[in-house]
């Protein structure tokens, strides 16, 4: 069903929870809302009228200037470990949940406005967002979803016609974000810190019904939720690692129980391969470096397990044992998911004893040579069947250095030993290794053009190009090239 020409009808299952889960409040209107971009494909999947969303009335609704009569907007409560230190009260400081929509397959989805004004948890902030972080999240979250990484989605971006003051005066914007839900590890930590066992039980049931309904009727719902969250996080983080994606701020309030990526503040895709890469301007110790992400997810899941102890078992000792046993499965689950993904990128269908050394030697070589992460794997796909690579061959764009030759000889010998058609192998490798990613320098250039000159053409061009990240076209080479030295971006910022 498409909602045409009128404010969409929303549902409010989260607002039906007890009042201590949130604070009800409406978005703060802005001076002069203007449309930037509507995600038409996503709107269609949600049964929304994209033309109406782009209209004056739709733009006013997306900016928070109009609230439908049946709406129950709110800011959610949560806590979180931030860079390892626990903050018992965080909550939505600049985001307001309007309500819930449904995918065309029936799944319930949150619709949230980010940058919609002050809330009870703004902690002295203005509740607004500069234009840059809105554009960054739109570009990167949509690219991630296209690449098959579970992610929150960008429904629309609108300008506010108001300045936002950070280091300087910046144009303001609001992002309309869609998520399977905004339930976080920090949501459970909030009530665990208050020793509110009833709220934990309510939240466990609600989260299972939202995300893991097949587990909702088990004899130990809290354990089923913990095990489901561990599976989803192991899969998610493996996908990040396989793309060279660095989240930048893996605090427990930024880890969703649905297994989706959220919060695209200081995130970035790695260019030259270095496992110690950090982009976040506030991560001085490298806690959230690329190589640390799998371990940090493990640590975060232990925080979830600890929060669930009161509802895992009446006997605390047994509850802790159940929690520990569940969390201990994460490492193997991550390793299995990551290994399967690497095999796909390297064209390996079978498991062989020598594969671990082959993979380790490749990563050592990549780090020693500081080669481009994305284009190295893409070039291997070309080489899997060089005679048939055809117009997808990116050798002119990015040849591998001669130091790779001995490793390549080993790899060619390894894939030749498998009874797989070389063209089929190559096609599968191309699917596993994009050539176009949201390069940091391109994202920053798009943000600068829009912020400094009001020119949104680079933003739209980048979003359009990233809608097909696998198909190489020489005329788009500037979207695929690594940054020149003067284009390199070494730090990204959260924009709060």
β-pair partners for 246: 268
CA 160, CA 177: separation in Å to the nearest integer? 16
Handedness of CA 193, 196, 201, 204 (dihedral sign): negative
Closest CA to 134 of 61, 39, 198: 39
Asked if 273 contacts 110 with a C-beta cutoff of 8 angstroms, the reply is no
CA 480, CA 379: separation in Å to the nearest integer? 12
Orientation of helix 422-432 relative to helix 373-384, angle to 10°: 170
Altogether, the residues listed in the chain come to a count of 496
Per annotation, catalytic residue among 49, 253, 263, 372: 253
∠ Cα 422 428 433 (to 5°): 120
Told to judge if 253 belongs to the known catalytic residues of this protein, a careful annotator would answer: yes
Phi and psi (nearest 5°) for 300? -65, -40
**Enzyme catalytic residues:** 253
């Amino acid at each position: 069903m498409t909602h045409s020409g009128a404010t969409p009808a929303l549902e409010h299952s989260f607002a039906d929870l007890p009042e201590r889960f949130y604070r009800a409040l409406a978005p703060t209107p802005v001076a002069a809302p203007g449309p930037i971009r509507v995600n038409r494909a996503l709107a269609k999947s949600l049964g929304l009228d994209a033309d109406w969303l782009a209209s004056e009335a739709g733009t006013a609704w997306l900016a928070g200037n109009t609230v439908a009569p049946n709406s129950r907007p709110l800011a959610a409560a949560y806590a979180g470990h931030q860079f390892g230190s626990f903050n018992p009260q965080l909550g939505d400081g600049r985001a307001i949940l309007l309500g819930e929509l449904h995918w065309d397959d029936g799944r319930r989805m949150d619709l949230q406005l980010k940058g919609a004004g002050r809330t009870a948890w703004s902690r002295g902030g203005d509740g607004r967002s500069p234009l840059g972080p809105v554009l960054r999240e739109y570009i990167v979250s949509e690219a991630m979803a296209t690449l098959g990484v579970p992610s929150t989605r960008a429904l629309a971006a609108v300008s506010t016609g108001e300045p936002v003051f950070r280091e300087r005066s910046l144009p303001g914007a609001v992002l309309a974000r869609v998520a399977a839900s905004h339930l976080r590890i920090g949501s459970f930590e909030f009530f665990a810190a208050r020793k509110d066992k009833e709220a934990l039980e309510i939240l466990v049931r609600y989260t299972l019904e939202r995300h893991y309904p097949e587990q909702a009727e088990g004899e130990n719902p809290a354990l089923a939720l913990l095990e489901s969250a561990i599976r989803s996080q192991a899969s998610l983080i493996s996908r990040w690692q396989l793309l060279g994606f660095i989240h930048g701020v893996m605090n427990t309030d930024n880890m969703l129980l649905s297994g989706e990526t959220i919060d695209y503040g200081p995130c970035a895709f790695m260019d030259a391969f270095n496992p110690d890469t950090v982009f976040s301007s506030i991560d001085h110790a490298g806690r959230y470096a690329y190589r640390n992400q799998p371990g940090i997810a493990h640590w975060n899941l232990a925080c979830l397990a600890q929060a669930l102890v009161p509802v895992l078992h009446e006997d605390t000792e047994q509850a802790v044992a159940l929690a520990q046993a569940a969390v201990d499965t994460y490492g193997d689950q991550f390793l299995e998911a990551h290994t399967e993904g690497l095999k796909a990128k390297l064209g390996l269908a079978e498991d062989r004893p020598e594969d671990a050394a082959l993979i380790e030697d490749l990563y050592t070589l990549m780090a020693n040579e500081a080669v481009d992460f994305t284009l190295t794997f893409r070039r291997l796909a070309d080489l899997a069947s060089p005679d048939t690579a055809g117009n997808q061959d990116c050798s002119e764009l990015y040849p591998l250095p001669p130091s790779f030759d001995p490793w390549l000889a080993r790899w060619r010998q390894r894939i030749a030993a498998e009874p797989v058609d070389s063209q089929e192998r190559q096609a599968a490798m191309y699917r596993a290794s994009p050539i176009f990613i949201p390069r940091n320098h391109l994202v920053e250039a798009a943000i600068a053009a829009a912020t400094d000159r009001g020119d949104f053409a680079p933003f739209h061009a980048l979003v359009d190009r990233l809608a097909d990240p696998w198909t190489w076209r020489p005329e788009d080479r500037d979207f695929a090239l690594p940054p020149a030295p003067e284009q390199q971006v070494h730090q990204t910022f959260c924009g709060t």
